[in-house]
Amino acid sequence: MNLEQARTNMIDQQIRSWEVLDSRVLDILRETPREEFVPTRHRKIAFSDLRIPLGHSQLMMKPIEQGRLLQGLALMDGEKVLEVGTGSGFLTACLAKMTGNVTSIEIIEEIAEQAKANLEARDTEGVQLEIGDVLEAGFDDNEFDAIAVAASVASIPDQFVRWLRPGGRLFIVRGKSPAMEALVVTRSDSGRLSEQSLFDTDMPRLIGAEDAPVFNF
């Protein structure tokens, strides 16, 4: 595989065509070696328009989804970001390049350890990795400028909103399968929330936020 040609095709044919036009986002996606964060057995599809299995029923988001997430959060250097679901560490590395200050929490230890190895292999700076359940985390109110959730929920957990500073942004997927919506939720200085719809999708539930079973009698 010609890696550089495949990377260029991913940027030009997938990400740009999905209305990701922020030059800073495109440069970071071009400069961060996606193939080095993909499990070895899946590297031939590292640049494909596919979600890539990471094990334990977890998935790496499509390049176009990651591009829209990064563009939608409109991150600035120095902002403090919480990433919910470290996954492969690729998005973590992109967030770190944009802000230099990322806390990433992953509930599955094996996935977290592989992400740590991936990030260390690239000498990634500005990342603090944690293993645990974000829904039980003790982050402070108003702690983060942005939160990126790489999973879906039926409704937005209250603590995610509380953790946002005034002016903070939250990327999250909300809804029920198969009709879900990727959103950027912005908290105003007065505490009011506004929503921007980015795209329709269908993503796995955030662990711990699964729908309650429905019993038919």
pLDDT in tens, 191-213: 899 999 999 999 999 999 988 66
Domain range spanning residue 40?
3-201
Residue 140 lies in a domain: yes
Residue 90 lies in a domain: yes
Residue 175 lies in a domain: yes
- pLDDT score of 181: 98
Residue 208 lies in a domain: no
Residue 213 lies in a domain: no
Domain count for the chain, please give it. Answer: 1
Q: For residue 196, which phi and psi values (nearest 5 degrees)?
A: -120, 120
Dist CA 27 CA 32 (whole Å): 9
119-157 burial string, b = 16+ CB within 10 Å, else e? beeeebebbebeeeebeeeebeeeebbbbbbbbbbeebb
Residue 186 lies in a domain: yes
Strand order in the sheet with 102-106: 127-131, 102-106, 81-84, 144-153, 164-176, 179-187, 193-201
Q: Is the pLDDT of residue 217 over 60?
A: no
Q: Is the pLDDT of residue 214 over 60?
A: no
Q: Tell me the pLDDT tens digit for each residue of 4-55.
A: 999 999 999 999 999 999 999 999 999 999 999 999 999 999 999 999 999 9
Residue 206 lies in a domain: no
pTM listed for this prediction: 0.95
Residue 212 lies in a domain: no
Query: For the domain that residue 193 is a member of, what is the CATH number?
Result: 3.40.50.150
